[in-house]
């Protein structure tokens, strides 16, 4: 009984690691200000790059830049969260068989 449970736990742990590795390779982005600020993050929510339009680097644009950075980061992180949730549903579905579709 416990051997089977331990085996399933090891399998789940292995699948989680595989998923985390796959998510590290997935990139999603978020934009704000019609592309003036672009942020790229991995499926594991690690920021990979930030691109800022030159016009926003001027002193008078500081507040706009800050607002656009927050918006772009939040959009990218939300997209990463969606990728993560999809990946986790795939794991749960695979482990629970037909019941996984209910998650």
| pLDDT tens readout for residues 30-53 | 999 999 999 999 999 999 999 999
**How far apart (Å, rounded) are the C-alpha atoms in residues 103 and 100?**
6
Judged by average pLDDT, the poorest of 4-8, 25-29, 48-52, 65-69 is 4-8
**CATH number, domain 27-88:** 3.30.1310.10
pTM score of the predicted model: 0.73
Where do the structural domains in the chain lie, given as residue ranges?
27-88
| Secondary structure class of 53 (helix, strand, coil) | coil
For residue 20, give Cα distances in angstroms to 48, 56, 57, 101. Answer: 16, 35, 35, 21
């Amino acid at each position: 009984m416990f051997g089977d449970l331990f085996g399933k736990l090891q399998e789940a742990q292995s699948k989680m690691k595989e998923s985390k590795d796959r998510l590290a390779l997935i990139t999603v982005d978020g934009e704000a200000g019609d592309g003036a600020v672009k942020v790229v993050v991995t499926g594991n929510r690690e920021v990979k790059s930030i691109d800022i339009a030159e016009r926003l680097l001027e002193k008078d644009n500081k507040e706009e830049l800050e607002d656009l950075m927050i918006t772009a980061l939040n959009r990218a992180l939300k997209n990463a969260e969606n990728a993560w949730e999809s990946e986790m549903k795939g794991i749960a579905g695979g482990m629970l068989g037909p019941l996984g579709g209910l998650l």
